[in-house]
Amino acid sequence: MSCLFCRIVAGEIPAAIVHRDDDVVAFRDIAPKAPTHILFVPTRHFASLAEAHDADAGLLGTLLLRVRDVARAEGLEGSGYRVVTNVGEHAGQSVFHLHVHLLGGRDFSWPPG
The set of catalytic residues is 99
Binder of residue 29, out of ligand 5GP, Zn ion, none (CB less than 5 to 8 A by kind): ligand 5GP
| Of residues 25-84, those binding Zn ion (CB under 5 A) | 45
Q: Which residues bind ligand 5GP (CB under 6 A)?
A: 4, 15, 27, 29-31, 39, 86, 92-95
With CB under 5 A as the contact rule, the residue among 97, 100, 101, 102 that binds Zn ion is 97
DSSP the chain: ---HHHHHHTTSS---EEEE-SSEEEEE-SS-SSSEEEEEEESS--SSGGG--GGGHHHHHHHHHHHHHHHHHTT-TTT-EEEE---HHHHT--S-S--EEEEESS---SS--
> Does 3 interact with Zn ion (rule: CB under 5 A)?
yes
